[in-house]
Structure 1
Amino acid sequence: MHPGLQLACATWAMAALSTALVVLRLYTRIRIVKFVGAEDHMYAWTGVFFVLFAVFIQVSIHYGLGQSFWRLGIDDASKAIFWTYVANSFAITGNAMAKLSMGLFLLRVVQTRWHKIALWAAVIVTVATSIALTIMLWNQTSPIRASWDPLRTPGKWNIQIQPLSVGLGVWSSICDFFFAIFPWLFIRSLPMSQREKIMLAGGMSLGVIAGACGITRTVVLSRLDVLNYTLNFVPYFAWAGAEIAVAMVCIGIPTLRPLYLRTRGLTSAYSNQGRSHNASQLPRFVMCDQKAPSPPPDPVRDSGFSHARTDSNVSRPPPAYTETRYDSVDDIISEYANRNVDVIWVRNEVRIREEVAEWPLRN
């Protein structure tokens, strides 16, 4: 099969997968979890940039990408190289956005100061190096046109972009492994079962696969012969797209757990539902002894602050006293990391009824 056709098929397949993940993630966050964060917006923009990468790769293939540079016409060869520059700009930026999405998610759940500093450092360096490489890509020569039209536009080469691209590829792979290993540093200290720790950290550690793709892309790039650009750079663009697509899969799949549980009929309520509108109000708890004659209590609404406990001196609360389920990754982490709710235990069997007080919640 023609190398250009192979690249087009692989790129569009990965673009379709990435687009599907973006749609499913936004549906999950908007309709089920009822919360959309900055990392979700960044994830969506990563999907948009990947589709644009696929579009411009297709345009470049139309003009000759995947064929020998020396067999193409001068005009077609120039246009093929130019559109790969455009596609590569979206690939570099999209790769940085994928890492930024993961970094913003982790920044929202970590509590330790040095954890936040390390995450901000990784995010800032990744974004800065990606922007710098994109600028240098378009300023390799004087005049600029000489870099994609060397046969008709004599010029001077100011920057050797290939070594810099290799350096960014190394850093990109390091960041992938960093974001994959980092969750284990804070999840292990949370008061949850070992199974939950492995589930959460394992789901966010799938980024090692993206790191492996980044290493492969870097090795391929370091061995390419630029004199036959339109043919030799096909594997580079294939692995560049694969790195972004795999990163989107690794970041997106853990956030789809609420959707999976909803489709299986295993859950009907999520922690962010029903509490956002009361987030600024302090709940008041009224205890009613069931032994004394009293009118039927009002229906009990679970606010997300309830908790169940049984020991030798405390009887189990009635069925209305329930425990809230947390079915998304960030909900589970936030529930354990930010639990500051006081619980009142009564020796006799009681019924807890919540009323909303009209004063703001103080931190």
Structure 2
Amino acid sequence: MVSWVALAISVSFNSYIVSLGFGRHIWTISHESKREINLFTILVATFGILATTLSKTSFALTLYRIVTNAWTKYFLIFVIVTINLSMNLVWIFGFAKCTPLERVWDTNVPGVCWDKTHLVRYQLFAAYYSAILDFVLAFLPWPILMAATMRRRERLGVAIAMSLGAIAGACGIVKAVLVVHMTSTDITYDRVDLTIWTLTEPAASIMAVSIPVL
């Protein structure tokens, strides 16, 4: 539920920046609108990341409850801690990258910012790591459920339902490929696809988490 709310907030912010001109070339947009777009683009990413990490955490906790092997439980704890740390650092760095803070969204404010190259490299790492964990969590239920005392058809049905997180993993890979557009100067145009997939990944993850419950 919390991840769904975070995603809804992110989509709402995205709709707002579209009304300001996000999707058009940057030279066709006023400075005031660009400043708003810069700020709310970061907020779109922030709440999108929160939706992603919360949904993955929810699924990992579901698996934690049904597994009996101690090492698998330790691994799931590792997954929960590392996915939250690696992903949430992306939006934290997004706000911390410039001094003063206002320079993050207003380039006319005097100040200094971190090297974009280092930020993009970290974002690439976080995006691919998130996608890899989607696939790991998608296939982890199979050995657990195949050993369960259920009818074969039921085991297969539940295992397939719990493996739909692989769709989120595929979305995550597409997003990771598009992260290179973070260095573009025409941010309002070139980052459109990246923003779409930033919202698609948590949406797919939330659906994958919800289906087994249904």
Q: TM-score higher than 0.5 here?
A: yes
Q: Is the 8 A contact 1:204 1:250 kept in 2?
A: yes
Taking the aligned partners of 1:247 and 1:172, their CA distance within structure 2 comes to 11
The amino acid that maps onto 1:156 is: V
Aligned match for 2:157, one of 171, 181, 199: 199
User: How does the TM-score come out when normalised to structure 2?
Assistant: 0.94
* Structure showing the higher strand proportion among its residues: 1
1:100 deviates by: 0.5
Mark the runs of 5 or more structure 2 residues left unpaired by the alignment: none
The amino acid that maps onto 2:70 is: R
CA RMSD of aligned residues (A): 1.4
1:124 deviates by: 0.6
What does residue range 46-61 of structure 1 map to in structure 2 within 5 Å? 46-61=3-18
1:48 deviates by: 0.3
Rg: which structure is higher? 1
Q: Higher RCO, 1 or 2 (CA under 8 Å, sep at least 6)?
A: 2
Q: Is the 8 A contact 2:131 2:170 kept in 1?
A: yes
| Corresponding residue of 1:245 | 203
What SS does the aligned partner of 2:110 have?
Answer: coil
Q: Is the 8 A contact 2:23 2:189 kept in 1?
A: yes
The amino acid that maps onto 1:208 is: A
1:223 deviates by: 4.5
Per-residue Cα deviation, 1:118-154 (whole angstroms, up to 9, x for no partner): 111011100111222221110111222222211x113
* Structure showing the higher helix proportion among its residues: 2
1:87 deviates by: 1.3
What SS does the aligned partner of 1:192 have?
Answer: coil
Aligned match for 2:65, one of 108, 129, 138: 108
User: How does the TM-score come out when normalised to structure 1?
Assistant: 0.56
1:155 deviates by: 2.2
Taking the aligned partners of 1:101 and 1:121, their CA distance within structure 2 comes to 14
Which has the larger displacement, 62-71 or 231-240? 62-71
What SS does the aligned partner of 1:89 have?
Answer: helix
1:185 deviates by: 2.3
Aligned match for 1:171, one of 129, 135, 151: 129
1:82 deviates by: 0.8
Mark the runs of 5 or more structure 1 residues left unpaired by the alignment: 1-43, 257-363
1:69 deviates by: 1.2
Q: Is the 8 A contact 1:136 1:159 kept in 2?
A: no
The amino acid that maps onto 2:90 is: L
Taking the aligned partners of 1:85 and 1:79, their CA distance within structure 2 comes to 10
Taking the aligned partners of 1:220 and 1:95, their CA distance within structure 2 comes to 17
1:224 deviates by: 5.0
| Corresponding residue of 1:186 | 144
